[in-house]
Structure 1
Amino acid sequence: MSFKHSDDIWNDFPELAAGALHVGGIRKEVAVDTQVAHFEAVARARLSERTEGEFPEIQAWRRAFARMGLKPTQYRSASEALLRRFRKEGTLPKIHPIIDLCNAASLAFAIPIAVFDLGKVTGDLEVRPAVGDEIYTTFSGDMEFPEPQEIIFADTSGRAHARRWTNRQSGYSAVREETTAVLIVAEALHAGGEADVRRLIDALREAVGTIWSVDPEVAMLERAARRFDF
């Protein structure tokens, strides 16, 4: 399998910084409280000084959403939505250890992180503009079709696993109790994003290795090396 961003994405967003991890051996019966607490403490400290809307990481995604023709306060990146909820409620709901870990890391770095159950992905996965005939399944099981040119995560079969780039993942490939292998993707558009994504990927690799006793495959993606084979 492979993961990449299309030429259109790199041409339209040359500031993109992205990293990915392929993790096998995932199981639910593990404890992530220590790692989650660490990441949440980092986020809490940042939020004590300013709101998420003032973070450069979030502002960069708002500008990108505006360029895509979306209202930034109507369609928020995943990291902004998490930070906003965390600021208001002081915590996030527990879903699955790998999701809880990645959500907490997203809070700490203010960078959107997607986690896909690879058992539900057919062939390769690519971030690209939609044609408009791709199938997207919501968490409630409803079927939607992305708008033409909307940025999506699409697999070889034409299924969309995320809509509006970092805004909304599909329920079809969401992590569940039976999930054993995942692809984790982190993306940033702010100045200094490459260094921040690298730090985020390194932090996740260390945490995942400690918790699940596995050695994830890791890649930093750039225009000259945009494909991650795993």
Structure 2
Amino acid sequence: MNTNSYLHRRTAMYTQIKMSADVEQNLDGVKVYGLHLQLTPKEDGSNADYKPEWEQIHAAWRGKSKAEVAAVPIMAAYQSFYQQIGLNPKKYPPSVQNLIQRFFIKEELDRLPLIHPIVDAVNVAALQHLIPLGVFDAECVSGDIHLTFTRGGEAFQGLGEAEPEALPEGLLVLADEEKVLSRFCYRDSEVQKVTDATRQVWLLGCQVPGVDESAVKESLSAGLELIGRAYQCDLGPIHAG
């Protein structure tokens, strides 16, 4: 199978995101599942409140040390994945671990990681299930999306960056047919960020060795349900390749 050959299948409502041959070979046991959603704002749901969920998450982790959070088996599974893709999990903890350590182990829940109602809903679901989830504006996508390694020189403008940078070879990225969408599980791009104008999203969850497929799909379903407080959600077309 050459580098332009991918596996793709859809189980029920979930799409399995394609991977290049070298990603499949080097990251055995890693799979990414997604939901492509069409969103229509609800008149009575524009102020979706996740306060009870934030408080429940805080109650579960309040008073824990960073070391105790990092030692949870599911956290350790994603730490191993980070090491596989060349990231130092002590310097760059996986997203769920990072959110818990930054916001939810304090005695007082004095600050929340609020970004946008869609992103907030997805973060709540990720924290409830301890599965890293990502969401991005699907209308920025040109053609199919897939996971691949950079060949070197691809342009990428990370969130908050004023200008694109050229990426080195060998980074794991989510890309479409024209551009890099994210440094996978590490940093999203400006081009695909969720805004108030967003009406289509890809909601993604990553399975790694030591984590059951069912756990990833349950977390995606939870994200869908939470987004549904503010939006009517309809499944979009299969367009991941």
Give the C-alpha shift of residue 117 in structure 1. Answer: 0.9
TM-score in terms of structure 1 length: 0.81
TM-score in terms of structure 2 length: 0.78
Q: Which amino acid aligns with 1:16?
A: V
> What residue in structure 1 maps to residue 171 of structure 2?
150
> What residue in structure 2 maps to residue 77 of structure 1?
94
Higher relative contact order (CA 8 A, sep 6+): 1
| Greater C-alpha radius of gyration | 2
Distance in 1 (alpha carbons) for counterparts of 2:73 and 2:216: 14
1:102 to 1:8, Cα distance in 2 relative to 1, 3 A: same
C-alpha contact (below 8 Å) 1:205/1:216 kept by paired residues = no
Structure 2, unaligned runs of 5 or more: 1-14
C-alpha contact (below 8 Å) 2:35/2:235 kept by paired residues = yes
> What residue in structure 2 maps to residue 224 of structure 1?
none
Give the C-alpha shift of residue 188 in structure 1. Answer: 2.6
1:48 to 1:67, Cα distance in 2 relative to 1, 3 A: same
> What residue in structure 2 maps to residue 222 of structure 1?
none
Q: 1:216 aligns with which of 206, 224, 235?
A: 235
- Percent pairwise identity: 24
Give the C-alpha shift of residue 42 in structure 1. Answer: 4.0
Q: 1:170 aligns with which of 189, 192, 213?
A: 189
> What residue in structure 1 maps to residue 81 of structure 2?
64
Which deviates the most, 38-47 or 143-152?
A: 38-47
C-alpha contact (below 8 Å) 1:40/1:107 kept by paired residues = no
1:43 to 1:128, Cα distance in 2 relative to 1, 3 A: farther
Distance in 2 (alpha carbons) for counterparts of 1:216 and 1:44: 34
C-alpha contact (below 8 Å) 2:203/2:220 kept by paired residues = no
Cα-to-partner distance string for 1:135-166 (whole Å, 9 max, x where unaligned): 11122322112221110111111x21111x20
Matched ranges for 1:112-151 at <5 A: 112-138=132-158, 139-151=160-172
Give the C-alpha shift of residue 43 in structure 1. Answer: 6.0
Distance in 1 (alpha carbons) for counterparts of 2:26 and 2:232: 39
> What residue in structure 1 maps to residue 53 of structure 2?
38
> What residue in structure 1 maps to residue 35 of structure 2?
21
Give the C-alpha shift of residue 71 in structure 1. Answer: 1.8
- CA RMSD across the alignment: 2.7
C-alpha contact (below 8 Å) 2:69/2:75 kept by paired residues = yes
SS in 2 for 1:203: helix
SS in 2 for 1:213: strand
Q: Which amino acid aligns with 1:148?
A: E
> What residue in structure 1 maps to residue 11 of structure 2?
none
Give the C-alpha shift of residue 133 in structure 1. Answer: 2.2
Q: 1:54 aligns with which of 54, 65, 71?
A: 71
Distance in 1 (alpha carbons) for counterparts of 2:81 and 2:163: 27
C-alpha contact (below 8 Å) 1:116/1:182 kept by paired residues = yes
Distance in 2 (alpha carbons) for counterparts of 1:46 and 1:88: 5
Q: Which amino acid aligns with 2:121?
A: L
C-alpha contact (below 8 Å) 1:57/1:189 kept by paired residues = no
SS in 1 for 2:92: coil
Give the C-alpha shift of residue 109 in structure 1. Answer: 1.8
> What residue in structure 2 maps to residue 184 of structure 1?
203
Work out whether 1:108 is the aligned partner of 2:124: no
C-alpha contact (below 8 Å) 1:20/1:183 kept by paired residues = yes
C-alpha contact (below 8 Å) 1:111/1:186 kept by paired residues = yes
SS in 1 for 2:219: helix
> What residue in structure 1 maps to residue 24 of structure 2?
10
Which deviates the most, 205-214 or 127-136?
A: 205-214
> What residue in structure 1 maps to residue 103 of structure 2?
86
Give the C-alpha shift of residue 187 in structure 1. Answer: 0.6
